[in-house]
Amino acid sequence: MSEPLIRAEGLTKRYRRSTGGKGLTGFFGRSTETVDGLVDATFRVEPGEIVGLLGPNGAGKSTTVKLLTGILRPDGGSCSVGGLVPWRDRRTYTAGIGTVFGQRMQLWWDVPILDSFRLLRDIYRVEETAWKNRLDELAEALALGDLLNVPLRQLSLGQRMRAELCGSLLHSPKLLFLDEPTIGLDAVSKLNLREFLLLERERHGTTILLTTHDMADMQALCRRVLVLGHGRLLYDGSLHDILQRYDTRHEVRCRFAGEPVWQDIPSSVALRRDEGEWELSFAPHAIPADEVLRLILAAGRIEELTLKEAPVDEMVAEMYNALHLS
């Protein structure tokens, strides 16, 4: 068995924050309290894995990423990534990782993205031939060839995200951190980005740690997830298993051009009419979504269809209750 790329043992981070009222009275009555950012988290990540970090806002995902990238120092426990301690060996360590944060850009806003890529080449001290070969590979895979001389500010959101991903991979990092990489992207851009990430892992063995609220991202990319809540690691295991246990009901709402003719609706599917729309509720472990879609398509010509899955926050809330952490 290979040596884990990431090894975290009892990783703990606590924050102190001020409490008290406003104004002069509040100032003199102010006190501090300790808040758990992450408590006693132990996990491993193998080389080449794509692992998802799940949990609602405030669950500890950002704290975990900041510890693993060396931005924060822990209050307890230990962590090594590729034999390096992120916060102690930060200069050497950051040369071997890449980061893409959906709401923050690392490329320069007013210059052509190729100029940003050249600056990143110098920052990471990538040899010219290796940089050129890697850029050619990434530009083709991410469809950036016609955009290299365009300033970042002139690109669409999807194009900017592809450029950011290219910039983060130019130095061929072994570990890539992705925080909400598809937020705000249209459906086609999301599909293309997911396909690229799978190809990058296949070609280069890149290990990816993915943080997202988009369950479709998780299902497309991750076999394994770490679920966090209240700063604690609640689950470490198969995404399929956790969905089967906690993602218990899906809903499909559809509108037809005419009156539908429903046939052979199984008992595991609840069907009801809501004014001009029809709603089908089902347990995904009892009947696959594509089978429900087949039933809908057979009923008539569809004008509109939406699928509603259980939100991540609701799934984690169920885990809280099951583990008596609520």
* Each residue's pLDDT tens digit, 182-238: 888 887 888 888 999 999 999 999 999 999 888 788 888 999 999 998 899 999 999
pTM equals 0.81
Binned at pLDDT 50, 70 and 90, residue 88 comes out as very high
Average pLDDT over residues 130-146: 94
Q: What pLDDT, on a 0 to 100 scale, did the predictor assign at position 326? A: 47
CA terminus-to-terminus distance, the chain:
37
The pLDDT confidence band at residue 247, using thresholds 50, 70 and 90, is: confident
For the stretch 162-184, pLDDT in tens is: 999 999 999 999 999 998 888 88
Is residue 171 within 8 A of residue 124, CB to CB? The reply is: yes
Using alpha carbons, select from 230, 169, 167 the residue that is nearest to residue 205: 169
Q: Which fold has domain 6-244?
A: Rossmann fold (3.40.50)
Is the pLDDT at 26 greater than 90? The verdict is no
User: Where would I find the beta strands (DSSP E) of 5-149?
Assistant: 6-19, 31-45, 50-54, 76-81, 97-101
d(C-alpha 252, C-alpha 94), whole Å: 44
Domain ranges of the chain: 6-244, 248-308
Least Cα distance to 216 among 308, 319, 291 occurs for 308
| Lowest model confidence (mean pLDDT) among 38-47, 55-64, 126-135 | 55-64
Q: How many whole angstroms separate alpha carbon 70 and alpha carbon 297?
A: 51
pLDDT given at position 111? 94
Q: What average pLDDT does the segment 22-34 reach?
A: 63
Where residue 249 falls among pLDDT bands split at 50, 70, 90? confident
Phi/psi at 176 (nearest 5 deg)? -125, 125
pLDDT band at 325 (very low <50, low <70, confident <90, very high): low
CA 307 to mean position of chain CA atoms: 20
| Residue 57 CB neighbours (<10 A) | 8
Dihedral sign of CA atoms 26, 27, 33, 34 in order = positive
Average pLDDT over residues 135-159: 93
Q: 154: which DSSP letter?
A: G
Average pLDDT of the chain is 88
pLDDT digits (tens, 9 = 90+) for 290-318: 889 899 999 999 999 887 766 677 777 77
CA 137, distance to chain mean position in Å, is 24
pLDDT at 25: 54
